[in-house]
Chain A
Amino acid sequence: MKKHLLAYPYGLWIVIFTIIPLALIVFYSVFTTDAAGIHFTLEHFKRVFEPIYLSVFLRSMKIAAISTIVCLLLGYPMAMILAGKNLSKKSILVVLFVIPMWMNFLARTYAWMTLLEKNGLIAAALGFFGISVPSLLYTENAVILGMVYNFLPFMVLPIYSVLVKIDKAVLEAAEDLGAPPMTVFRRVIFPLSLPGVSSGVIMVFMPALTTFVISRLLGGAHFTLIGNLIEQQFLTTRDWGFGAALSVVLMLMIMFSMGIAMRYEKENEGGGLW
């Protein structure tokens, strides 16, 4: 029995769903068709670096970075609380935390639209107390809120799974050696949880950089991130070559940022998600 035969379905899967689409994207990004037929061009990539598009890249990076940082600041303490509770309460908390994820992503985001809109629940509640607020929906902050809300679990879970694996005796040892609680956190807990943090950062930063649904729904029609730009090229303006070039650049950016994050991840110590 040849064992490598068993790997063929997997290989086929990779070819159909990864290699062919990737090759097509790269192909569209560097070839163009005109009267003379198909020929090689770098025009699409030149356009990517026009100021108007660069500013979209920058804004996407900025919003993704802010969302990731907010997720980290919220997610880390949350993961610590989850990891600290005793077992019976812990599983309830984890379930409570995961339940919103079972709901459809779009439904969750639409829900925020009704909460944030002009006469929505939040504006009404604040109005009741005599506080009038400027428009909440269709702002940058609304987009960041949507990203944090949707991607927070991807930050919490990898950090949580690393934190629960830390041997309690190691923390006791640090305390025994004279470290007050804050020092134990700074010198032992946090460094030991870095693999989880880097997993979480990647898991949040990547979708935050590429999403086009959240920015469309909560940022409005004129709020453009890279995701929206790429979507437009393929679905609206039908400029597949430019869309493909944008995708290739985005992919390179993600590979670059993952490369940085991976340096913190020692083998087998990741958040169990990679």
Chain B
Amino acid sequence: MYEEIIRLVNVSKSFNEQQVLQDINLSISRNEFVTLLGPSGCGKTTTLRIIGGFEISDTGDVIFEGKKINNLPPYKRKLNTVFQRYALFTHMDVYENIAFGLKIKKMDSKDIDRKVKEVLKLVNLSGYETRDIDSLSGGQQQRIAIARALVNEPQVLLLDEPLGALDLKLRKDMQLELKKIQQSLGITFIYVTHDQEEALTMSDTIVVMNDGKIQQIGAPQDIYNEPVNAFVADFIGESNIIDGVMVKDYYVEFAEGGFECVDKGFQPNEKVDVVIRPEDIKLVPVDQGMIEGVVESVIFKGVHYEMLINARGLRWMVHSTMMEPVNTKVGMNVIPYDIHIMKKVIAE
């Protein structure tokens, strides 16, 4: 069931004559976990701030439940935000922080008590009501920030790199916890991050952005397996990106050779980017390989080894659980399905 809750229509924004967002069109449905993913300066945070009402777009519309909310101030919007550095009220204790929004709504104090208790339980911080904000660890402050937003039962929760300041282990735990909270409460999450792994782990839909433009919108699997251009391929996971020529349908030439592939619909002899994931290259004995190369370096990455292989004047990154020593001659094989052909992005 797809029920739209937020839509951005042709949203553009510039700061000091520098365009940070260009024609953003995005539709977000109820209960969806959407991640805005991109490198810093790509416009993802600005997009979030426009949805939250902290920035006003220069052109275009923000539509919430069918109504234009372009100029509605943040305090009148039915959504809440978890800020990057938590932005907790240091002059209040945990209880007062969480109760802030409810008190403004003039809710009965008994209901406030009950709701604060509930939400503290949800973020695993029961009993912390009277603690000072300064006495909490980063992870705990983060949970309070989430609780403070969730207690208002928003229909949409905006999260601006909320896990950025936490260490790796804590971040992984919080990722799963956030996902669990989102599913159990049935709220729409709009999540901003530059961490592609985080995006892949948590999202229903990923919106990849670069230079103020949306590059690709899709489910994590689709984005990973079928990136639309070399930028997305490179940003989501590691990639070998090679110049190639699409000679005809299902046949591409690159790295001084011709290869079968599964793509079609390009101009004859169109110049393309060929993208091959490092884990899709299989290392085989030299005589069985499509391409022959020499191992240049090996790095142990935990689950796999990352090897750079010099072949036909190019450097190929290969991920494999089997290690080949430096200076070994190896053969490399790729099946046609794993050769991704992308239109060249024409530089503007």
Contacts and interface: CB of A to CB of B under 8 A. Distances in A.
B104 A173 contact: no
Interface stretch (A24-32, A177-185, A205-213): A177-185
Contacts of A174: 89, 100
Nearest to A194: B91
Contacts of B169: none
Contacts of A179: 75, 100, 104
B105 interface: yes
A85 interface: no
B347 interface: no
B74 A175 contact: yes
Interface string B76-111: 000011011101111100000000110011000000
A36 to B, nearest CB: 61
Interface string A184-199: 0001100110000000
B237 interface: no
B337 interface: no
A172 interface: yes
Contact of A169 (B73, B85, B104, B148): B85
A266 B74 CA distance: 31
A176 B74 contact: yes
A170 interface: yes
B35 interface: no
A212 to B, nearest CB: 39
A50 interface: no
A167 interface: yes
A167 B104 contact: no
B54 interface: yes
B193 interface: no
Contacts of B83: 169, 172-173
Contact of B91 (A169, A172, A183, A191): A191
A127 B253 CA distance: 95
B89 A178 contact: no
- Main secondary structure on B side of the interface with A: loop
A173 B90 CA distance: 12
B89 A170 contact: yes
B94 to A, nearest CB: 15
Contacts of B89: 170, 173-174, 188
B152 interface: yes
Contacts of A183: 104
Contacts of B148: 173, 177
Nearest to B73: A175
B91 A178 contact: no
B75 A192 contact: no
Contacts of A177: 75, 80, 100-101, 104, 148-149, 152
A39 B289 CA distance: 112
Given A177-B100, A177-B101, A183-B104, A169 B74 contact: no
Interface in A111-132: none
Given A176-B74, A176-B75, A192 B152 contact: no
A167 B88 CA distance: 10
Contacts of B105: 178
A49 B90 CA distance: 45
14 contacts: A167-B87, A169-B83, A169-B84, A169-B85, A170-B89, A172-B54, A172-B81, A172-B87, A176-B52, A176-B75, A176-B149, A177-B80, A178-B75, A187-B100
- Interface pairs A-B: 7 shortest CB-CB: A177-B101, A169-B87, A173-B87, A175-B74, A178-B104, A176-B81, A191-B91
